[in-house]
Structure 1
Amino acid sequence: MKKIIGILGLALLSSALAQPLRPQSIIVNPTPPQDLQVRVWVDKDPGKTGNPVYQFGENIQISVQVTQPAFVYLFSVRATGEINGILPNAFEQQNFLQAGEVRTFPGIGAPYTFTVEGPAGQDRVLAVASRRPLDVSEIVDIQTGRARIQGESNLARALSIVVTPIPTNDWVTDEAYFIAGQLPPPPPSTGTLSLNSTPSGAQALINGRLVGTTPLTLELLPGRYNLELRRSGYNPLRTAFTIQAGQVTRLNLTLVATPPPTGVLSVESNPSGAQVLINGRVVGNTPLNITLNPGSYTVELRRGGFSPFRTLVTIQAGRTTRLTANLISIAPPPPPVQPVQPVQPVQPVQPVQPVRPPSGSFTYTCQGGTLVVNYISSSQVRLFYDGAFQTLPLVRSGAELVYSNNIYTWEIGQVGRLIVRGQVVLSNCRI
């Protein structure tokens, strides 16, 4: 004998697998007896903790137990409303159980099976236990198992009529639940964020919370989110995105490099209009403000008629470095040599009184600038020129004192002059 038992409808969510789905009971004793109880279950869920799943074509066994001697009646109630009789049946007419006795249908070696068939849905098994035998012939044909009625409400009415003559303390019911067929996959409750950045390795914050570094894949609940990417050397990137259930949101974002911190070089010269070269490259004329990256630079100023000016400057981020240069005028070339006049009779030459070296430090005002000369001793002077101190030994004395180190020459008599590399740079120097 083959018995068909139904299954749960397709609209159920996957949570039904974790928690039993309990429709309203078909028939319940309003005042059940304290000593008589019946318990019915299926072989995949003996503890009755959930909704076990049976595939189409799979056999199923149904077990029942009573706490007191009673007659037991079992019915299959399908989700479609189809009713079938399980016990008693054509092969097992004896449905009286002793207290504590467990009976399984079909039992071992039984000449029949119960097989789960479609359509899909949630079915249940209704057990009715009674101290007195019940006449269910108007409900089900025991020989075929086919019910004479269909639908849960009709079964409830028919059973109410059957148990009406019996005292309420003489009968009780129980139900077991199971799913026939494969449940459809639950609708997706999350969406996927696929996040990439150029360059990669950026910290990702979603709604202010750090979730990882790019590239990154996350499962998120549907909704709108705020995203921030952070990476050293790049500007923070902020954007919003939306997650939809079951869909992949792809974000491929490009970070913008943070410009390096800079400083400002402010260059002035006296006189102005000098050409400015930084590390050998012409960048403009004084007065000049130029933005530079932090570091050290060689600055050179050039202007016709003046000696070149060179110095080293250091630029710091966020600061202005000021450079003011007083350019030194180059003396004009000496006048052409006049024709030699006839020699006049030589007058008696008065002996030349030698010039005695002064002592101490003196500031000379010259044509072309100023010069500070420190007479260290009678045989040596020290002066500051070209951005450095120059020490010159005495090489000749007489009406004029000459100090020289072959590059710089200081001549001093009534007036003084400074010669650099053979050219007069300061002349007519007086204290």
Structure 2
Amino acid sequence: MKKIVGILGLALLSSALAQPLRPQSIIVNPTPPQDLQVRVWVDKDPNKTGNPVYQFGENIQISVQVSQPAYVYLFSVRATGEISGILPNAFEQQNLLQAGEVRTFPGPGARYTFTVEGPAGQDRVLAVASRRPLDVSEIINIQTGEARIQGQSNLARALSIVVTPIPTTDWVTDEAYYIAGQLPPPPPTTGTLSVSSIPGGAQVLINGRVVGNTPLSIELQPGSYNLELRRSGYNPLRTPFTIQAGQVTQLNLPLVATPPPTGILAVDSNPRGAQVLINGRLVGSTPLNLTLNPGTYTVELRRSGFSPFRTNVTVQAGRTTRLSINLVGIAPPPQPVQPVQPVQPVQPVRPPSGSYTYTCQGGTLVVNYISSNQVRLFYDGAFQTLPLVRSGATLVYSNNTYTWEIGQLGRLLVRGQVVLFNCRI
């Protein structure tokens, strides 16, 4: 089996498809004949319009045609410089073509194939047509197809030697080009969004459009987007994200549970300050605003001196229920009637006269009643003279520092503080 291999940098493949690559021809007749022409092509490009691509392991066929009877020699020339023979070969010794004849190698029923192998690159087929047989034994081993030389420049020199004895009107060349190797994958045009949520099953909206439920993987064009997750019982979650070509954007988003709907119970009373119990539990005193889940509650008000109040109240979501209660006072028990005591007239105390010694709690005191309007007493190591300032059931003598009060009992005050009391003669 013969194998034809070409090489070309992968970075050049896309441009090679856009326009034919035509390296310099290996050998060219400077004055080619007008009546003798040779044309060589590969099966994927019979019109020779571009650089057809053959994947590794793919079979290839080479066709050739001459305008006049001629001996045709075909060579595979790799970009690496490796040379191999195509025609003649161990299976195809006859290389004389008639005018207008098209010969394909390998042809139908052939016992061999040409298979494209690596390395990748651009390869070519060189066709030499001559009116006379050429001796290419110094170039190719026809039985094995292996070249005795390597490199395009060496092939060019060898062929020049071979055709030198032949008039330029008797030989002509042509070349066919193709690309051997894997095509590079096209650059990615999209990116991937991988989004999950805790808990899962959330509806996914991208730029306001529903695209599925979490967990979700979706291909998107590069750019900026707005993501929204919706799930019953949870707050909507919104976040921006960016997609880059060939990359995966991963989002793992926790959802926040929506609090249950509530209502407000506003409780007041007259008078205020009553204890408020909800379903038997003390929650505060009036006035009071309570946030409660929807439902029916037992409300009780308690205040000392007033009858307890109890009622059932229904609280609705998103609404305020008001309860304002006038408490009913509890009547005090009747008090027994006390007999009226006759008012005894206050008998004024007559000022005594003379000197008296009083025995008091706190010590003794000698008081000399100088006149009905003045007394003299000995205290704090000195005699103190006190004028009468008030009379009645109690006589009060005072000089603003010392005060002597005498009724049934007496007491002495110094600067407003009692120092002697329960004074008796």
Distance 1:194 1:68, change over 3 A: same
Secondary structure of 1:233 counterpart: coil
1:197 corresponding residue in structure 2: 197
Counterparts of 2:212 and 2:329, CA distance in 1:
66
Distance 1:13 1:319, change over 3 A: farther
1:120 corresponding residue in structure 2: 119
1:364 corresponding residue in structure 2: none
Distance 1:136 1:208, change over 3 A: farther
Distance 1:234 1:206, change over 3 A: same
Q: Are residue 81 (structure 1) and residue 111 (structure 2) matched? A: no
Counterparts of 1:13 and 1:274, CA distance in 2:
91
Q: Give the CA deviation at 1:67.
A: 7.3
Q: Are residue 6 (structure 1) and residue 5 (structure 2) matched? A: yes
Counterparts of 1:323 and 1:88, CA distance in 2:
113
What one-letter code is carried by the residue in structure 2 that aligns with 1:177? Y
Counterparts of 1:202 and 1:118, CA distance in 2:
52
Counterparts of 2:231 and 2:160, CA distance in 1:
75
Provide TM-score, normalisation by structure 1. Answer: 0.57
Secondary structure of 2:53 counterpart: coil
1:327 corresponding residue in structure 2: 327
Distance 1:15 1:23, change over 3 A: closer
2:266 corresponding residue in structure 1: 266
Higher deviation after alignment, 217-226 or 232-241: 217-226
Alpha-carbon RMSD across the aligned residues, in angstroms, is: 5.0
Structure 1 contact 27–159 (Cα < 8 Å) conserved: no
2:215 corresponding residue in structure 1: 215
Q: Are residue 101 (structure 1) and residue 99 (structure 2) matched? A: no
What one-letter code is carried by the residue in structure 1 that aligns with 2:39? V
Counterparts of 1:251 and 1:237, CA distance in 2:
12
Counterparts of 1:38 and 1:171, CA distance in 2:
10
Q: Give the CA deviation at 1:76.
A: 0.9
1:386-401 matches, within 5 Å, as none
Counterparts of 1:241 and 1:39, CA distance in 2:
56
1:297 corresponding residue in structure 2: 297
Counterparts of 1:127 and 1:229, CA distance in 2:
65
Gaps of 5+ in 2: 339-425
1:387 corresponding residue in structure 2: none
Counterparts of 1:205 and 1:160, CA distance in 2:
72
Q: Give the CA deviation at 1:230.
A: 1.9
Distance 1:290 1:255, change over 3 A: same
Gaps of 5+ in 1: 339-431
Q: Give the CA deviation at 1:38.
A: 3.2
Counterparts of 1:209 and 1:32, CA distance in 2:
71
Structure 2 contact 192–217 (Cα < 8 Å) conserved: yes
Distance 1:154 1:41, change over 3 A: same
Counterparts of 1:97 and 1:225, CA distance in 2:
68
Counterparts of 1:270 and 1:202, CA distance in 2:
51
Provide TM-score, normalisation by structure 2. Answer: 0.58
1:60-71 matches, within 5 Å, as 60=59, 62-66=61-65, 68-69=67-68, 71=70
What one-letter code is carried by the residue in structure 2 that aligns with 1:53? Q
Counterparts of 1:280 and 1:32, CA distance in 2:
120
